[in-house]
A and B are shown apart, each in its own frame.
Chain A
Amino acid sequence: MSTYRIQGATGEWEVVIGLEVHAQVVSKSKLFSGAATAFGAEPNAQVSLVDAAMPGMLPVPNRECIRQAVRTGMAIDAQINKWSRFDRKNYFYADLPQGYQISQLYHPLVGEGRIEITLDEKDPEGSTKTVGIERIHVEQDAGKLMHDQHPTMSYVDLNRSGVALMEIVSRPDMRSPAEAGAYVRKLRTILRYVGSCDGNMEEGSMRADVNVSVRRPGEPFGTRTETKNVNSVRFVMQTIEHEAQRQVDVIEDGGTVVQETRLFDPNTGTTRSMRSKEDAHDYRYFPDPDLLPLELDDDFLAECRASLPELPDAKRHRYEGDLGLTAYNAGELTAEVETAARFETLLAETAKGQGKSEKDVATQVANWILSIAPGVINALGSDADLANNTPAANAAILAMQAKGEISGGQAKEIYEIVLKTGRDPAEIADAEGLKQTSDTGAIEAAVDNVLADNPDKVEAYKGGKDKLFGFFVGQTMKAMQGKANPQVVNDLLKQKLG
């Protein structure tokens, strides 16, 4: 449970948050027309007669968009409504050619579901919370107005007009900016696992309407405000921080919070009023008479369910339980679907290459994926050609390291060369002399020399100065030009020092 509180002049306040997230559905064509949906096309290049609302044009539902929304609903353990219906939401605006948005008010496609969020990323098991999902419905996106193309006129780009959105409506279950942030991140992760939304917030593929109210702990809900179209996790959190504080200030100054729609200004991190309830549109919702009710059969639902991948929570539990990874590593590996995919590919290659079980190599692979490899890639910057970053090359490096042929440092050096050149890791190790020796004879000679050269330190170590062990290791490695297998060095030193 969150104990986030606003400290007001008159005492503590609790924040209540609900989110409506609009997620653009991944599909080749729009919700009710055959026009394409790719981002970044020339204005009005992806507009059908339906999208432009020409006279006599009719919407026809796109099966793939419905399928994606159903799969999303299944991924959050939600009720899938086999009978749903589209409604028209009527209002005039230049980016809305029909004069109405086709949405689902009365009978949404997806009903109640839930998402489990993790409040501490370092300790995913430690503090979790379930956020209720009220519904998911599908609807059309609007077009876009461009105000910077002409001195006195605004232009309209209808490429986005009619693109399918899922509106994912949470219960007012969140109590802090951190919880809301964790919810948006988790939702994004799930959507990207399912493949129903690319989760790209910069391109507007995911935007949130943030509902915020404040109350004294334990009292009924206060009046809420809705801040529209917030397009990053950070901005969602800022919106809540600012809006909650503003509401507390209003109430403590003797005022009342007005139910209204607000806008977030990313430049100032504040919100401002857009329109109050009195000015709110009367959307005159009614069932769209151009469309029949949407009825889903069992075969369709079964196909949707069968097509779902392993979801992030299940994956995380498997990584911990079956692979023996730490909760932190499991959480990190499953946060992005691409990371998990890379991990699993490399895990399989590595286990095969080393002739071991996946569990035996899982920690090595996890450390490589999460910290070592990203470190090298980041250090190289644009010098790294990620096309060279193949699972086979990574697995080869890990295998050499596991066999003791190369040290951790050498692994990084080889990886660096692989990324720059695409050369074969084994060939690099040979050609560049990036191998460590496990030749006991050579190492033993070096150890003997070090001990012989430092009789005083040997004496001191035997007298109880344990810390000198590192000194002997260092001297031996130095004598071996860093290419000795540290494990062999350790073993020999321990043996000779008694």
Chain B
Amino acid sequence: MTELTELGVAQIRDGVASGDFTAVEVAEAFNANVAAANDALNAFIVATPEKAIEAAKAVDAKRAKGEAPGKMGGVPIGMKDLFATKGVQTTAASHILEGFAPEYESTVSQRLWDAGAGMLGKLNMDQFAMGSSNETSHFGDVVNPWRAAGGGNAGLAPGGSSGGSSAAVAARLCPAATGTDTGGSIRQPAAFTGITGIKPTYGRCSRWGIVAFASSLDQAGPMARDTRDCAIMLEAMAGFDPKDSTSLDMDVPAWEANLSPDMKGKRVGIPREYRMDGMDADIVKSWEDGVTWLRDAGAEIVDISLPHTKYALPAYYIIAPAEASSNLARYDGVRYGLRELPDGANLQDMYAATRSAGFGAEVKRRILIGTYVLSAGFYDAYYTQAQKVRTLISHDFRNAFAECDVILAPTAPSAAFALGDKSDDPLAMYLNDVFAVPASMAGLPAMSVPAGLNRDGLPLGLQIIGNAFDEQGVLNAGLAIEQRAGFTAKPEKWW
């Protein structure tokens, strides 16, 4: 029998359903991998092997009674620590929430449990989802399971903010994991670790119970080994939630059943503004490969323009911090989480001490930026202007989708970089999301699929951006690339 931890979501689901193995066997296998690897990779903040077993037993019992085990029946997954999980510590990788165990379960995680998934643990991430390398976590860096050929044993960043998710899936600690994407936090780490991840249309997945970073951008999505697995898991995660006013009141399409790699009659747009001077040659090459593969799948390739692309990143770094500065005001030491109360402290002192001790440097930086851009006298120059840019970016995409069905672009400007490489240079770090941010600003579905390895043997991702609500088009193009890229590489086990 194949090693169970080599199996993906569909294979596990189908194998459990047909009785090839039990859900408990699967859960035990992944629990063992988590236990063996976590010291080296630091992908999980908290492991919950008992939760995985408990859910698996329930699935096995259902199957024994002849009941359907669910869309995700028997699939153990990792849960990004941004999702509130009832009775299990939920920290957003921040000291300020250390020890906080909510009395409620996020809508998305609840849907996954209802679909038969089990929880292997809470995944490490950039603190409050702010970062692109998983180096801002209070619980330490996550290490990318991939290593550069000839690069010694230098630890690489797994991407961020869903770095625990990407590392855990790539290292076979879980067949799939939840991620959240505010400005690339699913796609960029997926690209850095040779896995697949999709951010759906804004509003597809309820934000209820997800620790908020930037409310108008935050969106949950699956990270898994391939397109089909993402389709399955996204179906389980998505759906209208009356508890989230921005949730889309639309039925969840049968994405998995409608998967098709046939691109005949589809037009794929190549945005000329994404071709930048001094672009990494391997990135350019993989992009060209993607064009070849999609053409081979029957698609027509069209040149398109997204003229305001260069303003997307600066506008994002106004809007996201502005919302964050307000969203994070609730962490004040009054009701839950960390409280620092120096001798003789008054309320203001308590706020200052708690927030100084509780938030990491990157979180503080963004709170400061956000507070600044919303201040009287600066609001119009920054926030209002950024919102106008955001509107223009949406118009760019609207115009583009009059000419094409999906857009193909690189996911990130480089492969995984070494831990510590950019941690002292926030602007260099922010630039990592240059290709990812525009789709976030427009609320569009976008995914990253593995496209191959670069000269150092590190994975590269290709990004597919679709029109609003057209996750199917995105997934289908992803599948077409996946079938032609033949990406089977996986990180050499060193941990």
Cβ of B104 and Cβ of A60 under 8 Å apart? no
Which of A196-204, A258-266, A282-290 sits within the interface? A282-290
Within 8 A of A (CB), among B357-387: 371, 374-376, 379, 383
Cβ of A94 and Cβ of B374 under 8 Å apart? no
Which of chain B's residues have a CB closer than 8 A to the CB of A292?
A: 245-246
Cβ of A58 and Cβ of B216 under 8 Å apart? no
Cβ of B243 and Cβ of A58 under 8 Å apart? yes
Cβ of B334 and Cβ of A94 under 8 Å apart? yes
**B90, B323, B332, B336: which contacts A92 (Cβ < 8 A)?**
B332
Which of A17-25, A48-56, A129-137, A442-450 sits within the interface? A48-56
Which of chain A's residues have a CB closer than 8 A to the CB of B325?
A: 90, 284
Return A394 CB to nearest CB of chain B, in Å. Answer: 49
Question: Is A156 at the interface (CB under 8 A from chain B)?
Answer: yes
User: Is chain A's interface secondary structure helix, strand, loop, or mixed overall?
Assistant: loop
Cβ of B376 and Cβ of A289 under 8 Å apart? no
Question: Is A57 at the interface (CB under 8 A from chain B)?
Answer: yes
Count residues of chain A with CB under 8 A from any CB of chain B: 30
Q: How far is the CA of A49 from the CA of B103 in the complex (A)?
A: 9
Which of chain A's residues have a CB closer than 8 A to the CB of B375?
A: 282, 284
Q: How far is the CA of A98 from the CA of B90 in the complex (A)?
A: 18
Q: How far is the CA of A56 from the CA of B337 in the complex (A)?
A: 14
Which of chain B's residues have a CB closer than 8 A to the CB of A90?
A: 325-326, 329, 374
Q: How far is the CA of A60 from the CA of B245 in the complex (A)?
A: 6
Return A36 CB to nearest CB of chain B, in Å. Answer: 18
Question: Is A100 at the interface (CB under 8 A from chain B)?
Answer: yes
Known contacts A59-B245, A292-B245; A97 and B210 CB within 8 A of each other: no
Within 8 A of A (CB), among B293-348: 322-323, 325-326, 328-330, 332, 334-336, 347-348
Question: Is A88 at the interface (CB under 8 A from chain B)?
Answer: yes
Cβ of A286 and Cβ of B326 under 8 Å apart? yes
Which of chain B's residues have a CB closer than 8 A to the CB of A94?
A: 332, 334, 347
Question: Is B176 at the interface (CB under 8 A from chain A)?
Answer: no
**B90, B104, B246, B335: which contacts A290 (Cβ < 8 A)?**
B246
Return B180 CB to nearest CB of chain A, in Å. Answer: 11
Question: Is B244 at the interface (CB under 8 A from chain A)?
Answer: yes
Known contacts A97-B335, A98-B329, A289-B215; A58 and B376 CB within 8 A of each other: no
Count residues of chain B with CB under 8 A from any CB of chain A: 44
Q: How far is the CA of A59 from the CA of B330 in the complex (A)?
A: 14
Q: How far is the CA of A286 from the CA of B216 in the complex (A)?
A: 12
Q: How far is the CA of A232 from the CA of B56 in the complex (A)?
A: 63
Of chain A, the residue at the smallest CB distance from B203 is A292
Known contacts A90-B329, A282-B376; A289 and B102 CB within 8 A of each other: no
Within 8 A of B (CB), among A97-117: 97-100
Question: Is B92 at the interface (CB under 8 A from chain A)?
Answer: yes
Question: Is A291 at the interface (CB under 8 A from chain B)?
Answer: yes
Q: How far is the CA of A285 from the CA of B374 in the complex (A)?
A: 7
* CB 8 Å contact bits of A281-316 with B (1 = contact, 0 = none): 010111001111000000000000000000000000
A58-B245, A92-B348, A289-B214 given; 19 more Cβ-contact pairs under 8 Å:
A55-B90, A56-B84, A56-B102, A56-B211, A57-B208, A58-B243, A60-B242, A60-B245, A61-B245, A90-B326, A90-B329, A90-B374, A100-B329, A284-B325, A284-B376, A289-B216, A289-B323, A290-B246, A291-B245
**Which residues in A have some Cβ–Cβ distance to B below 8 Å?**
49, 52-61, 88, 90, 92-94, 97-100, 154, 156, 282, 284-286, 289-292
